[in-house]
Chain A
Amino acid sequence: MTTTGVRIEGVGYEYPTGVLALSDLDLSIPTGSSVAVVGPSGCGKSTLLQLLAGLRAPTSGHIDWPAFPPGVHPMTVVFQTDTLLPWLTAEENVGLYFKVGRAGRRVGRAAARARVDALLKMVGLQDFARAYPYQLSGGMRRRIAFLTAVAPQPAVLLLDEPFSSLDEPTRVTIHQDVLRIMSELDMTVVLVTHDLAEAITLCDDVVILTARPGRVLNRHRVPFDRTGRNAIELRHSREFLDLYALLWEELGSQIFTTSPDQQGSTSHVR
């Protein structure tokens, strides 16, 4: 794998309805780094993630991916909505990769089992391995969805507002689990979020997008080492609060440049 990582160059995306979600967006995501993308509602953050996931193709510009070594799963996504399959248990959901794809099936059954068990243990859900999704709380379900995406040990993990449906205390607890797994598995992470605290907590860089059509307004380095980061203690630090205030200031400038007309017609641009 090269150290250059993923390079997004001059990317634009226009919906079939004629709405321009992204325009001339440049962004580099170094291998092994974690980058948060924040921006006003409807600026095309989730569209950008869908382009990275290959679920949509850019209408202009291009995305360059590094060459991944054979056997490395290129990318997975944690979606905003619930993606657990309700007829599978928690452990079966986490191990979905080992069933559905050729690459996943090549991992032996014992190795797959060991990986699933280890992941469940990392987030303290080993006792809920055989539980069905309906038997789990919202926070547990989100953890399982996260583990499902992490189980293939992808080169790049895309997170699309993965914890936005959770209450603040649960979210912060999950952040700690996510930080631990991210540092252990050494993945490149792209996080799309509305939550500035989440962006600072989980990532090395925070990128602010402009109002629609989204392009990069600014990029900030998070002044903390990701290894050993404590999601709760972090929030009391001066640097955290300063960066939070700065990000809000820049984000606010974009929120208030979005016209009421744009705000009312963003439902199809996520």
Chain B
Amino acid sequence: MFGSGRRSRRLWITLAQLALVAAFLAAWQWLPTIPWLAEKSHVFDSFFVSSPSKIVARLRDLFFGPPGVTPIWTYIWNTMSASTLGLVIGLTLGGVLGLILGSSAVLSDIFRPFLVALNAIPRIALIPIVVVLFGPTSLGSITVSVMVTFFVAFFNAYEGARSVAPPLIQNAQVLGAGRAAIMRYVRLPYVIAWTVAALPLAATFSVISVVTGELLIGAPGLGLLLGNATSTADATLTFSLVVILSALGVVTVLIADQISKRVLHWWAK
């Protein structure tokens, strides 16, 4: 009885959500067709905001478009491969450095202020330097992603290494563990856990940073296409790309969440 009440509540919530989306799409589709509204504001001008039907048609063209046009898959591949590579490199570097500094009070005291200062720099300010260093290439996009994900992983790993309770280390010591064994059997698993816990957030940041990088440095990918769409005032393409990026973002978070849950299955529920 209680269960069926919960199910019907859930059904109502889903229906309400679908109704909201339908109302929004209907308003988006029909409001810009009223000339009086379009004259009042660009928000109601289909030239600037396009329409759901045009976006669906453009999405169909992008994925199954006429021959001769570069398929969207190439751009998606560029963006997602750069995001994944940047994420892996950033997490690995950040995790390793977090482990080292989190395990050594002296090294932590020396380097941590520099890392805090570096983290305070807006990454977007460094993009011109990335352009100069690597040009408008995928390497540039990957570098931007690494610059962002590294710090997410580093600070998590650092806290992970520092959060190991002293009795855990002392217990391993009295069982005969040396420094290397303590690192391998106690600190490293903690650091991996904390780094993996940051995976969903870091994965999202990675996609955002790669698209921003592509947009600003002109590296191949969805960001470059988005830049072109904006500069040619192609609202339909812009919104189509926003839809694709949103879908990719959701898929990325879902995958990262699943990996995180599987790796950290032992974490207290």
Chain A residues with CB under 8 Å of chain B are: 53-55, 73, 75-77, 79-83, 85-88, 96-97, 99-104, 132-134, 148-149, 152
How far does the alpha carbon of A75 sit from the alpha carbon of B265 in the complex, in Å? 33
Grouping DSSP codes into helix (H, G, I), strand (E, B) and loop, the B interface class, with mixed when no group exceeds half, is: helix
Q: From A81, A101, A134, give the contact of B268 (CB < 8 A).
A: A134
Chain B residue nearest to A134 in the complex (CB): B268
Q: From B167, B186, B267, give the contact of A79 (CB < 8 A).
A: B167
Q: From B165, B167, B266, give the contact of A87 (CB < 8 A).
A: B266
- Asked if A134 contacts B269 (CB within 8 A), the reply is yes
Q: From A73, A96, A133, A149, give the contact of B185 (CB < 8 A).
A: A96
CB distance from A81 to the nearest CB of B (A): 5
How far does the alpha carbon of A55 sit from the alpha carbon of B182 in the complex, in Å? 15
How far does the alpha carbon of A87 sit from the alpha carbon of B266 in the complex, in Å? 5
CB distance from A115 to the nearest CB of B (A): 14
Top 7 A-B pairs, shortest CB-CB distance = A101-B176, A100-B177, A134-B268, A83-B171, A79-B167, A100-B181, A132-B266
Chain A residue nearest to B269 in the complex (CB): A134
Is B256 located at the chain interface by the 8 A CB criterion?
Answer: no
Residues of chain A with a CB closer than 8 A to B181's CB? 99-101
Residues of chain B with a CB closer than 8 A to A53's CB? 170, 174
Residues of chain A with a CB closer than 8 A to B165's CB? 81, 83
Chain A residue nearest to B192 in the complex (CB): A87
- Asked if A79 contacts B176 (CB within 8 A), the reply is no
- Asked if B266 contacts A101 (CB within 8 A), the reply is no
Chain A residue nearest to B193 in the complex (CB): A87
Residues of chain A with a CB closer than 8 A to B265's CB? 132
Is B71 located at the chain interface by the 8 A CB criterion?
Answer: no
How far does the alpha carbon of A97 sit from the alpha carbon of B172 in the complex, in Å? 8
Residues of chain B with a CB closer than 8 A to A134's CB? 266-269
How far does the alpha carbon of A149 sit from the alpha carbon of B193 in the complex, in Å? 25
- Asked if A97 contacts B167 (CB within 8 A), the reply is no
Residues of chain A with a CB closer than 8 A to B269's CB? 134
CB distance from A137 to the nearest CB of B (A): 13
- Asked if A55 contacts B185 (CB within 8 A), the reply is no
Residues of chain A with a CB closer than 8 A to B174's CB? 53-54, 75-77, 149
How far does the alpha carbon of A77 sit from the alpha carbon of B175 in the complex, in Å? 9
- Asked if B170 contacts A85 (CB within 8 A), the reply is no
CB distance from A57 to the nearest CB of B (A): 14
CB distance from A104 to the nearest CB of B (A): 6
Supposing A86-B267, A132-B266, A134-B268 touch, asked if A100 and B175 sit within 8 A by C-beta, the answer is: yes
How far does the alpha carbon of A55 sit from the alpha carbon of B193 in the complex, in Å? 27
- Asked if A100 contacts B185 (CB within 8 A), the reply is yes
How far does the alpha carbon of A96 sit from the alpha carbon of B181 in the complex, in Å? 11
How far does the alpha carbon of A75 sit from the alpha carbon of B175 in the complex, in Å? 8
Interface CB pairs A-B, < 8 A, 18: A53-B174, A76-B174, A76-B175, A77-B170, A80-B167, A81-B165, A83-B171, A87-B189, A87-B266, A100-B177, A100-B181, A101-B175, A101-B176, A101-B181, A103-B176, A133-B266, A134-B269, A149-B174
How far does the alpha carbon of A86 sit from the alpha carbon of B176 in the complex, in Å? 20
Chain A residue nearest to B177 in the complex (CB): A100
How far does the alpha carbon of A104 sit from the alpha carbon of B175 in the complex, in Å? 8
Residues of chain B with a CB closer than 8 A to A76's CB? 174-175
List B175-208 residues whose CB lies under 8 Å from chain A.
175-178, 181-182, 185-186, 189, 193
Most buried by B among A73, A79, A80: A79
CB distance from A185 to the nearest CB of B (A): 16
CB distance from B238 to the nearest CB of A (A): 46
- Asked if A86 contacts B266 (CB within 8 A), the reply is yes
Residues of chain A with a CB closer than 8 A to B267's CB? 86, 134
Chain B residue nearest to A77 in the complex (CB): B174
How far does the alpha carbon of A87 sit from the alpha carbon of B185 in the complex, in Å? 10
Contact mask B152-174 → A, CB, 8 Å, 1/0?
A: 00000000000001011011111
Supposing A85-B168, A134-B268 touch, asked if A100 and B193 sit within 8 A by C-beta, the answer is: no
How far does the alpha carbon of A73 sit from the alpha carbon of B176 in the complex, in Å? 8
How far does the alpha carbon of A113 sit from the alpha carbon of B174 in the complex, in Å? 20
Residues of chain A with a CB closer than 8 A to B171's CB? 77, 79, 83, 148-149
